[in-house]
Amino acid sequence: ITLCRGTPRAWLNHGERIEVSNAPTALGRISFNVSSSLGSSLPVVKATVRVVPGVTGPGVTGPGGTRGGEAIVLRLRVPGGLEPHWTIQGVQLNGAKWSAFDPKAETVSLLPLGAGTPTEQTLVVTYTKARRLGLGLGRS
C-alpha cells in the first residue's frame, strides 16, 4: 500500500499537516499523520503510521489478519518548483537510521508487516536543497 501517492505538493508546505484516521485497507485499518517543517533550520517531514490489523478485504490471511511481509510505502511529494528543490537526505525510522528510501521517487518504505513489527512506526525525513540533473531540457 502506498500512502499519500497523489497528494498535491502544496499539502507539504512548511507548517502543513496531512491526517487520516482509521482508513479501511486490505492490511487492516490505517491511521497516519504527516507534518512538514521544511522552513525550519533543520528541514524535516515527520510522519507516524499506525496499523490496526484485521480482516477488511478479500484474501487477507496471516497473524492478526494481515498478509505477512506486506509493505507500506509513504510518498512525500514536497513542494517543487524553481530550483534548487527539496530532496531526501536521510531517514530515521523509530529513532534509528533507515536506508529504505528513494529520493528520486520521493518514497520511504516502512518495516514490512508481520510478527514482531510494531503497529506504530515513526519517521523523520531530513531534506536538503539540490539541483535537478538530467532533465533533458536541451541544455549542454
> Quick one: pLDDT at residue 59?
46
Ramachandran angles phi, psi of 84, nearest 5°:
-75, 155
Which sequence spans correspond to the domains of the chain? 2-130
Confidence of residue 122 (pLDDT cuts 50, 70, 90): very high
SS (H, E, C) 103-127: CCCCEEECCCCCCCCCCEEEEEEEE
Lowest mean pLDDT among 5-9, 24-28, 62-66, 118-122: 62-66
> Quick one: pLDDT at residue 77?
94
* Alpha-carbon distances of 73 from 1, 76, 84, 106, 118, rounded to whole Å: 6, 10, 25, 10, 15
The pTM of this model reads 0.80
Closest CA to 73 of 114, 38, 102, 33: 102
Lowest mean pLDDT among 27-31, 73-77, 90-94: 27-31
Q: Quick one: average pLDDT of 100-105?
A: 95
Q: 37-58: per-residue pLDDT in tens?
A: 999 999 999 999 999 876 444 4
Looking at per-residue pLDDT, the higher value among 60 and 117 belongs to 117
Ramachandran angles phi, psi of 19, nearest 5°:
-140, 135
